[in-house]
Amino acid sequence: MVVPYPVHSEPERPLMATQHSRAAARLMISPAVLLLLGWMLIPLCMTLYFSFLRYNLLMPGMEEFTGWMNYRFFLTDPAFMDALVNTLLLVGGVLLITTVGGTLLALLLDQPFWGQGIVRIMVIAPFFVMPTVSALVWKNMFMNPVNGLFGHLFQSLGLQPYDFLSQAPLASIIFIVSWQWLPFATLILLTAFQSLDQEQLEAAEMDGAPALARFWYIMLPHLARAITVVVLIQTIFLLSIFAEILVTTGGGPGTASTNLTYLIYMQSLLQFDVGMGSAGGVVAIILANIVAIFLMRMIGKNLDA
């Protein structure tokens, strides 16, 4: 529903009042704008500045300008390539599982069945579990090879216990994160399904269109926008996955489950290399911006609608 802007629709209102209200409006908006501007610009400039310095917290007073050296070291470090690949796999893997799984699940939950309310509540629940809890619970209670539930299950099937987090660390983390985000995708896609024109679907059914054709030609195009939004918003959050890695594998073994966020965290707060960490931060910002541009276009379009 589009609501017309109230003030614009009242040209007969005296000009003075409008100017007055405009000034008031600016005053009301400015605290939010100034705070966000400060929050964005100050640290951003500092990151940029540090990224050109040799600056280690363990050697205070030794800071000096080094040009592009931090970037050269960061980008040529084999850990960077590993982290970049892991980041892409993590984001891509979770996106694939949650959008495909979420679409199918939303399709199912959109059908009439008994206990809809309770099922919905159960399905959405993982999204509200804090990342550290979900990561630790999966790590200890399920994936632990000795006492975890999967361990018990494997044993009862006569299989060797499998140490998920050391044998397949990245896949395990993808699994855990997917469990957290599947509810989000499902909920949004379900909302989109519910705004689908039922008459159109019924008409197609009457005309003898098979279920798959109805899904492909009517439902999927209707979902396109919601799917795009899910993909873009999740990408923003998934690029910054941190807690799940910190409490499960600590990025290891080696760099097997280190993503960009975690690599930069290690360099800046564990190795105290501010310069290098900042260079990494700038790289992360550039990568995130590429995603952000697409997302902003989507949402900006909606604002006009």
Partner 1 sequence: MARAVTNRRKAIVTVAAWLIAIAIFFPIFWIVVLSFKTEGNAIKDPLEVLTSAWTFDSYATVQERSNYFRHFWNSVILSVGSTVLGLIIAVPAAWAMAFVPGKRTKDVLMWMLSTKMLPPVGVLVPIYLIFRDLGLLDSRIGLVIVLTLINLPIIVWMLYTYFREIPGEILEAARMDGATLRDEIIHVLTPMAVPGIASTLLLNIILAWNEAFWTLNLTAAKAAPLTAFIASYSSPEGLFYAKLSAASTMAIAPILIMGWFSQKQLVRGLTFGAVK
Q: How far is the CB of 271 from partner 1 (least distance, A)?
A: 12
Q: How far is the CB of 168 from partner 1 (least distance, A)?
A: 19
- Residue 216 has a CB neighbour count (10 Å cut-off) of 12
> Closest Cα partner for 182 from 261, 110, 123, 235?
123
Residue 36 interacting with partner 1 (CB under 8 A): yes
Selected binder of partner 1 within 136, 171, 201, 204 (CB under 8 A): 136
How big is the chain by its Cα radius of gyration, in Å? 25
Residue 65 interacting with partner 1 (CB under 8 A): no
Selected binder of partner 1 within 152, 175, 196, 222 (CB under 8 A): 152
Q: How far is the CB of 18 from partner 1 (least distance, A)?
A: 8
Residue 1 interacting with partner 1 (CB under 8 A): yes
Q: How far is the CB of 66 from partner 1 (least distance, A)?
A: 16
Map the footprint of partner 1 across residues 6-25, applying CB under 8 A: 6-10, 21-22, 24-25
CA distance readout (Å), 207 to 198, 262, 291:
14, 54, 41
- Residue 303 has a CB neighbour count (10 Å cut-off) of 6
Q: For partner 1, which is the closer residue by CB, 86 or 134?
A: 134
Q: How far is the CB of 171 from partner 1 (least distance, A)?
A: 17
Residue 210 interacting with partner 1 (CB under 8 A): no
How far is Cα 83 from Cα 264, in angstroms, rounded to an integer? 10
Residue 105 interacting with partner 1 (CB under 8 A): yes
**Residue type at 104 in one-letter notation:** L
What length is written for the chain? 305
How far is Cα 159 from Cα 9, in angstroms, rounded to an integer? 72
DSSP code, position 77: S
Number of residues that bind partner 1 (CB under 8 A): 113
